[in-house]
């Protein structure tokens, strides 16, 4: 058994997934301590790591130099995951109020999606199929 297989078995999820979750939690904790936990899109405080995301302020894929634009730390901001996703569809959209942002980031809908995805992963794992 490889080292990553052993780690994955101990953690109950693929080691890469666990490592990514740890890094995201650490980054969110540091953002909170530095008071950088306000959404770039709506300006509202990001309350939990589950809705925390990293985004590029300006689009890197169509930039003259995509590599340097992607890795430019001045081009990085934090946002609610769903604000970030929504911006991918409408890049210049900003929420006009906390109420509008809250409606979009509706915890009830997000919880259902997460539970549904976790159920699918559990079924895939039980059947011995890939689930990433």
| Domain locations in the chain as residue ranges | 1-35
Q: Is residue 76 within 8 Å of residue 57, measured between CB atoms?
A: yes
Question: Would you say residue 92 has pLDDT above 60?
Answer: no
Rounded distance between C-alpha atoms, residue 118 and residue 123, angstroms:
9
At 123 the pLDDT is 73
Q: Which residue has the tokens 């650490």?
A: 26
pLDDT at 69 over 80: yes
35-53 tens-digit pLDDT: 999 999 889 999 999 999 9
Q: How far is CA 60 from the centre of its chain?
A: 18
Bridge partners (DSSP) of residue 76 are: 56
Mean pLDDT within 18-28:
95
**Banded model confidence at residue 29, pLDDT cuts 50, 70, 90:** very high
pLDDT-derived band at 102, boundaries 50, 70, 90: low
This prediction's pTM? 0.64
Name the band, by pLDDT with cuts 50, 70 and 90, for residue 96: low
């Amino acid at each position: 058994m490889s080292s990553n297989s052993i780690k994955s078995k101990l953690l109950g999820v693929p080691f890469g997934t666990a490592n990514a979750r740890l890094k995201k939690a650490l980054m969110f904790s540091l953002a909170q301590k530095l008071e950088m936990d306000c959404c770039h899109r709506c300006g509202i405080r990001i309350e939990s790591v589950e809705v925390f995301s990293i985004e590029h302020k300006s689009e890197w894929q169509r930039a003259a130099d995509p590599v340097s634009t992607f890795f430019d730390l001045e081009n990085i901001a934090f946002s609610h995951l769903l604000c970030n996703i929504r911006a991918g569809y409408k890049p210049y959209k900003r929420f006009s109020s906390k109420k509008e942002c809250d409606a979009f980031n509706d915890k009830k809908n997000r919880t259902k999606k997460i539970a549904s995805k976790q159920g699918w992963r559990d079924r895939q794992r039980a059947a011995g199929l890939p689930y990433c």
